[in-house]
Structure 1
Amino acid sequence: MERVDTAGIVGGGVLAAEDRQQGDWERRIAERSEELYRARLVQRLLWVWAVPGTLLVVAAGVLLAVLSAPLSAVLVLFALAAVSVGVAAAFVYRQHFKVRAVDTELRALEGAHREQLLDELATGDLLDAHKRYRAQLPDLIERYRTEARRDRWKDQVLQTVVIGGSIVAATVTATATSVVDVAFLAVGLSLLVALSAALAGYAKYRDRSAAWQQVADALEREYESVELRVGRYRRFTEEREAYAEFAEAVEALRAEKAGRLPSAVVDRLAQ
């Protein structure tokens, strides 16, 4: 009789309901993760259209000018480039807010899921507080990696503008000696390249991206090490001692890494 009662509880009672609820959380998180992945993919494609794609159209116009093509054809290509920049900018703007909305919703789902799991086992002692701290760490790690990807992408865009713009500007400058009408374009491209290079040097997006990534990787190592009892945690036999060391190590690590980041980045770390 006891076996029948247990089977009933597992198969159609409390445990089955909890399993269904857990599966629902995982399904919703997986759906939002897939939606975020697709939104970011579209965002990257739009940036490719906005920057390298437009530069290719401009380069085609310059090539036609060098080949002594009709001026109307050259002007049409330059007009298409201008229209392309405007349309791409509008789509990039809209996609940015879509990505941010999906990302915010995904983080809220993940946070609510972790809170629910922890509330079911909450005891109010220090060990529970340390476990709660560890459970919230993946969200922080993902934030840092998101910042790393964002700064890396900004650096790549600026470098693309500097390299591609320099090539096109050099070609346009050479063409301007024979086609006076494109002289203004050479000046504009040279100014764009100079501004992009100055911004890349001032903002140091590559260094900031590396700093974000180092913080995220170091925190992830601590997150995994305390659970597997490896590294600095192998000497602990008591779970309470290991998690106390974990909380102290993570806080020290965040403070140390934050000192290597620019002041604007440190302000975001504290949020």
Structure 2
Amino acid sequence: MARLRAHNGRILELRQHIRGVNLRQRLMYGFGAGVVLCVLGVAVPTALTWRRFDMAPINTVLVLLAVAFAVAFVASSWIETIRHPGPRPGTSGNRLTREELELDLEIAIESRLIDATPLDIPIRNRQFAFTESIPEELDQLRKESRHYRRRHNLFQLLIIIGSIANAGAQSFSDTTQPLKSIIIGLTMMVAICAGITGYYKFRERSFNLQQTADSIEEHANAFHLGLPPYDGTDSAANLALLTAKVETLRVEQSRREQQLDQPSETRDQAG
């Protein structure tokens, strides 16, 4: 049991490090996106109002913001690449990337499973261990759902902004050469974003993952509260039923992912 407690402590520590790395990477990407938006905020309005309106005051503010975001991006990139937390046990100062931390987490979980297998743990303890692993599954499913939902929202935002900017640029009859180039670029961006969202189906993937997480949570809550179909007095039978339900939901989720990966013609034939 002491080895299991040590594995649990190591797993919690690695998860905390991974959350910190994810937070720093989101900040880094946010600063980079701020630089891009400031540059676009200078280039596009200036081209649209060329020789019609003095954009110098606004552009000065946007340039200063772009410089601030660029400095923050460089600083966060340096922190992310040079000063990772979570040195490996038994080493001195070696820093880990997020991929290495996730690999160590998988190894720690596998090691905990290997050490727990030969133990003759009572059924109530096994039931508690299994139910404790369900929140981890829910967190992973919802994390992936949020990941795909953010991608879908990002590409949809680019499509909306690009379409509006393209329509505004085309409303000028006497378009100059820089403005024509911007129109072509906006049209290509909208087409590329639409193609990516249609091919990878981020919204459908996010919906399926969230639906699976909600279904697993519903069964887990019913199991904990003793609601049907887990209202029997036999705890072992309730645990077996919960395991079967969760595994069924996982298999259905995998099948839905495989269907999304297939071409539309193949899905139509299968349906």
Please confirm whether the aligned pair reaches a TM-score higher than 0.5, indicating the same fold.
Answer: yes
Whole-angstrom distance in 2 between the partners of 1:35 and 1:251: 31
Shift of 1:49: 2.1
- Report the CA distance shift for 1:202/1:96 in structure 2 as closer, same or farther (over 3 A): farther
Contact 2:11 2:105 in 1 (8 A): no
The question of 1:145 aligning with 2:142 is answered: yes
Whole-angstrom distance in 1 between the partners of 2:116 and 2:187: 59
The question of 1:28 aligning with 2:27 is answered: no
Which shows bigger deviation, 160-169 or 52-61?
52-61
Contact 1:55 1:164 in 2 (8 A): no
Shift of 1:104: 1.3
Determine which structure has the larger helix proportion and give its number: 1
Percent identical pairs in the alignment equals 19
Which residue of 169, 174, 181 maps to 1:172? 169
Query: 1:193-236: CA deviations, max 9, x gaps?
Result: 112122222322111111111112212232343233223201x1
Which residue of 240, 243, 250 maps to 1:254? 250
- Report the CA distance shift for 1:239/1:54 in structure 2 as closer, same or farther (over 3 A): farther
The amino acid across from 1:65 in the alignment is: W
TM-score by length of 1: 0.65
Aligned twin of 2:99: 101
- Report the CA distance shift for 1:135/1:210 in structure 2 as closer, same or farther (over 3 A): same
The amino acid across from 1:149 in the alignment is: R
Whole-angstrom distance in 1 between the partners of 2:212 and 2:184: 42
Aligned twin of 2:213: 216
Query: 1:17-53: CA deviations, max 9, x gaps?
Result: 99x9699558725742651452254155246426644
Contact 1:52 1:160 in 2 (8 A): no
Whole-angstrom distance in 1 between the partners of 2:35 and 2:106: 31
User: Which runs of 5 or more structure 1 residues have no equivalent in the other structure?
Assistant: 1-13, 267-271
Query: 1:42-88: CA deviations, max 9, x gaps?
Result: 15524642664454333332344262559xx8xx99xx8xx99xx89
Whole-angstrom distance in 2 between the partners of 1:244 and 1:197: 45
The amino acid across from 2:240 in the alignment is: A
Aligned twin of 2:229: 232
Aligned twin of 1:65: 50
Shift of 1:253: 2.0
Task: Please give the root-mean-square deviation of Cα atoms over the aligned residues, in Å.
Answer: 4.6
Whole-angstrom distance in 1 between the partners of 2:260 and 2:201: 12
Shift of 1:147: 1.7
Which residue of 219, 244, 255 maps to 2:240? 244
Shift of 1:184: 1.6
Query: 1:97-116: CA deviations, max 9, x gaps?
Result: 98843761684487369x27
Shift of 1:95: 9.9
Q: Secondary structure at the match of 2:171?
A: helix
The amino acid across from 1:225 in the alignment is: A
Whole-angstrom distance in 2 between the partners of 1:185 and 1:50: 19
Q: Secondary structure at the match of 1:231?
A: coil
- Report the CA distance shift for 1:22/1:107 in structure 2 as closer, same or farther (over 3 A): closer
TM-score by length of 2: 0.65
Summarize the alignment of residues 115-154 of structure 1 with structure 2, pairs less than 5 Å apart. Answer: 115=112, 119=116, 122-123=119-120, 133-154=130-151
Aligned twin of 2:160: 163
Whole-angstrom distance in 2 between the partners of 1:95 and 1:159: 31
